[in-house]
Structure 1
């Protein structure tokens, strides 16, 4: 796993963001709320995490998207930190699951037939529109298709051989237009957890900007 401080100014509070599969630093180099440092985590070919990097913060906002929800659940399953809130977006702790995640055959087919064309199709489905896809690509993705296939294979290996992690989230945001994690499956996965629905695709620029800047009602418990 790669851990990159996008903002490190000695603030007492931390925005800790576990991005999804295929993410990189360029994609989420965005402003965050004043008074927060910002640590981005991505590339889940391994789940090695440097816990020392988040020690000393008095409050931590945990934000996770897509496969990052599962990754964060595993990383923090046996540990306690001063969480201000733990917010999951368009993902579940059961990422390869016919009822609570990405249907197994779809995931398996993506991995078995992975190529540059497969990646391009995935990104179009993830973004939902040509404009959103162009915005995604404007962040100059640099990771190769082979590297992303390695990450997907590593995720599949751990997810399918290990029990689902036990970790409690405070709220789950479900994008009703998500074409990667079916909204119906997300609802099943988050039974018993506070849910907030939004008219968003799997990848949604305004939503991420709002969450990282701490604006809106998403960070409020009801």
Structure 2
């Protein structure tokens, strides 16, 4: 796992951001951090306990987990959930590779078995419904090699098959209704309509939302 500070200015409040597959700081570097320091975790080829000492100095911490990071957060942070004042899941579920409550296994395996640069381009495009947002991402694509991405994709499947459903630690569950990666209906089944907030967002929601404060405060 890789730790990256998106913002570190000695503020009193921190957001721990558990990102999804294939990411690094580049796509998120321009997102306004607001009143938070932002610590991002990425690259889940090997799972290990989260280094909570990195958050020890903060008066208050919040958790934001996105996509496959939702499963990782539930798996790794369930015993320390109370350290986080709010815990937000967006665009992901506790069963990330699942026919009815995650990414359908056949879709996941298709990417895994046919992984190429062109397929990666198609996947990244599928994360957006707005051309300008997609171009913004392509201008700031993660600096990860194809072999590295494929290894992480394979590792996610092995992690999930090994550990199964992760713990529901979340105080806020955001369903992204324009999602073409985690199907909307599967997200809704996973969380339940009464327990979730449905927003008209693509899978990659961070360029549509005004900043990290919207996710933490629920000010959509």
What's the TM-score once normalised by structure 1's chain length? 0.90
Change (3 A) 1:192 1:179: closer
Q: RMSD of aligned C-alpha atoms?
A: 1.9
Give the secondary structure class of the aligned counterpart of 2:106: helix
Change (3 A) 1:192 1:153: same
- CA deviation string 1:37-94 (max 9, x = no partner): 1101111111223221122322111111101111111110222443221111110111
Change (3 A) 1:8 1:110: same
* Partner Cα distance (2:4, 2:131) in 1: 29
Q: Number of aligned pairs?
A: 217
Conserved? CA contact 2:127–2:180, under 8 Å: yes
- CA deviation string 1:169-210 (max 9, x = no partner): 111111211010011110111128631111111113434543
* Equivalence for 1:101: 102
Give the secondary structure class of the aligned counterpart of 1:33: coil
* Partner Cα distance (2:206, 2:8) in 1: 23
Give the secondary structure class of the aligned counterpart of 1:77: helix
* Equivalence for 2:202: 201
Q: Structure 1: which 5+ runs fail to align?
A: none
* Equivalence for 2:8: 8
* Equivalence for 1:175: 176
* Partner Cα distance (1:205, 1:91) in 2: 14
* Equivalence for 2:21: 21
* Partner Cα distance (2:23, 2:188) in 1: 24
* Equivalence for 2:89: 88
Quick check: 1:58 aligned with 2:59?
Answer: yes
Match of 1:219 among 214, 217, 220: 217
Q: Structure 2: which 5+ runs fail to align?
A: none
1 or 2 for the larger relative contact order (CA 8 Å, sep ≥6)? 2
- CA deviation string 1:7-36 (max 9, x = no partner): 2222221111111111111111132122x2
Conserved? CA contact 1:87–1:219, under 8 Å: no
What's the TM-score once normalised by structure 2's chain length? 0.91
* Partner Cα distance (1:54, 1:177) in 2: 33
Change (3 A) 1:101 1:162: same
* Partner Cα distance (1:133, 1:148) in 2: 19
Which segment is superposed worse, 183-192 or 92-101? 183-192
Q: Which consecutive aligned stretches of 4+ in structure 1 deviate over 6 angstroms post-superposition? A: none
* Equivalence for 2:190: 189
* Partner Cα distance (2:92, 2:167) in 1: 15
* Partner Cα distance (2:28, 2:209) in 1: 8
